[in-house]
Chain A
Amino acid sequence: MSNQILVIIEHLKGNIEDISFEMLGKAREISGSAGAELVALLMGSGVDGMVGQLGIADKVIYVDDTNLAEFNPQAYCKTVSEVVANNQPKMVMIGNTSMGMDIAGGVSVDQNMPFIAYVSGISGDGNTITSSLYGGKMNVDSALSGDGCIVSVIAGSFKADAGRVDGSPNVENASAPDLSGLSIHFKQLIEPEGGDVDITTQEILVSVGRGIQSDENLPMAEELASKLGGAVSCSRPIVDSKWLAKTRQVGKSGLKVKPKLYLTLGISGAPEHIEGMKDADLIIAVNTDPNAPIFDYAHYGVVQDIFDIIPALTDKL
């Protein structure tokens, strides 16, 4: 086992995702106190120009292969696994993102390395690793049985600015493992359809969750939003139920918003949702469950039936 922290860089359409900088910043903090080497793994085809944004790393391992031009679960998993096998890092940091979820578990099995998922906190010395479980209702600290682990980090857990450092780190060009005979092939990226409202530019969002119970109750929320001069957004279950369009969804697989007011109605606050709204200027949360995790992130909390609050508030506007 080497004294190395390996951070897997994620990029889409030529842009390095924030999660990569968030992990790099945290990794620098841990490596600083442990005297460890911070290594970033960049995979792709013709993306060596991105190295200049990874100045915080001691070294960048760059794997360039046409099979890695677009994300491919099979090709990326094989490549990360090979780099891990060759470098034996004591910690591998991967985003708990759509791409990361295709990689982390696979490397855990293939390299027989412990895997701790949904990580929202790591102590400065790297020894206490905290996961956010049960929809954000419980934190769990894990104790490793041996050396070395893979962690998948929830986006937004650490500050991206801490890891965003331009520079010219050492680059080690590594070749990809044999990627012939892949059985998964990338076809296309499908851009989201434009919606009637762009929730990322709204200053006021009234956001509804499971607590709204039925699409028949949506007009109440819409009336409140329009009286406040804003729009209605929502959490994942509302889109899965087809009550609102995908373009209204806030969170991990939806959009990231930063309005002046984010008023939640019946949203419990699972980590996937928090990721998309925690930076709003003012968060007011209404939920019947006093233990709902949303209250840990809101500025003001109201334990109340939303069907009592909505009309009371609408009347006053």
Chain B
Amino acid sequence: MNILVPIKQVPDLVEELEINASGTDLDREWLKMKLSEFDDHALEEALLIKDDQGANVTAIALASDDIDKALFAAAAKGADKLIKITGVEGSSTHEAAKAMANVIKSMDYDMVLTGVQAVDDRDGQLAVLLAHYLGVPHISVVTGVQASGGSVTVQKEYGGGMVAEFEASTPIVLGIQAARETPRYVPVAKVRRAMRGSTIDEVDAGDLGVSAGSTVSKMYKPDSGGGAEMIDGSAEDQASKIMEILTQKGIK
């Protein structure tokens, strides 16, 4: 079985985000990037399937700063092949999906597993856009995948903890919400070994001819005007104030 896993880097939200001078994007100069957590789950699910029943796992990413490190980390975790797509100018998900589709359509694959969403995919989620550019069916918000032969059973999460189960034939694109296990950790030393031991195939994106159909006119921090009344002081002071509020509200 061949499983393709599109991955990408996103800003690490633990860091403070600043807006650029034109007010339309993040100030990316000092931005710390990390693998999108949902892509991490997609990669984990692919690797678990490989562990269980054997599979060839290929990690695919668009070229960007630091992406080589993310690809080598995927190899260190168990990905068999690494592909980097070059020649994509824009940053929209539509362009990324079309570029991925151009490269993937000539490949032999059973499943594409990628993150259900990313923190910055303003014009839509990659999985569903990619599936439609490929003309292949798609299921999103997936929390379980059981593949056998040419078919796959998929669990899709609804609200309230309800799960819908589908049976589908391959090839299929799945937007992974969560892998069945916590994504594996890989030590830096192992990533370094992967950098020496594996290669990244570079492939051109080809003709895109698509766009998001919209642009960012303004980026701003959400209005915290209606936000919280902040309680200052030491932890001890703050705890006392919380107790006061709870008493006032008749909670304690």
Contacts and interface: CB of A to CB of B under 8 A. Distances in A.
A309 B122 contact: no
Dominant secondary structure at the A interface:
mixed
A31 interface: no
A187 B215 contact: no
Given A183-B168, A312-B239, A192 B251 contact: no
Interface string B95-128: 0010000000000000000001101111111011
Interface stretch (A42-50, A51-59, A171-179, A292-300): A292-300
Given A101-B117, A189-B163, A246-B161, A140 B216 contact: yes
Contacts of B122: 116-118, 131, 133, 140, 142
Interface stretch (A1-9, A82-90, A162-170, A252-260): A252-260
Contacts of A303: 230
A-B interface, 8 closest residue pairs, ranked by CB to CB distance from nearest: A114-B213, A192-B161, A301-B228, A105-B128, A312-B239, A308-B235, A109-B132, A298-B228
B220 interface: yes
Interface stretch (A22-30, A61-69, A144-152): A144-152
A138 B122 CA distance: 11
Contact of B123 (A71, A115, A255, A301): A115
6 contacts: A102-B139, A139-B220, A140-B219, A240-B178, A254-B159, A301-B227
Contacts of A316: 239-240, 243
B252 A188 contact: no
Dominant secondary structure at the B interface:
mixed
Interface string B72-87: 0000000000000000
Nearest to A236: B178
Interface residues of B, number: 83
Nearest to B225: A296
B117 A240 contact: no
A117 B227 contact: no
Given A74-B137, A133-B119, A312-B235, 9 more contacts: A98-B158, A108-B94, A110-B132, A117-B125, A138-B219, A268-B13, A296-B223, A297-B228, A300-B228
Interface stretch (B56-64, B149-157, B199-207): B149-157
Nearest to A185: B167
A102 B164 CA distance: 13
Counting contact residues on chain A (CB < 8 A from B), the size range is: 35 or more
Contact of B235 (A140, A254, A309): A309
B204 to A, nearest CB: 22
B227 A296 contact: yes
B16 interface: yes
A141 interface: yes
Interface of B: 11, 13-14, 16-17, 19, 26, 41, 94, 97, 116-117, 119-125, 127-129, 131-133, 137-141, 153, 155-169, 172, 175, 177-178, 182, 211-224, 226-231, 235-236, 238-240, 242-243, 245-246, 249, 251-252
Given A190-B155, A284-B242, A295 B219 contact: no
A97 B159 CA distance: 8
Contacts of B240: 316
Contacts of B172: 183-184
Contacts of B212: 114-115
A134 B119 contact: yes
A104 B168 contact: no
A105 B139 contact: no
A213 interface: no
B213 A149 contact: yes
Given A102-B138, A204-B251, A189 B133 contact: no
A246 B144 CA distance: 14
Contacts of A207: none
A154 B12 CA distance: 22
A246 B128 CA distance: 26
A285 B230 CA distance: 9
A317 B251 CA distance: 12
A38 B34 CA distance: 42
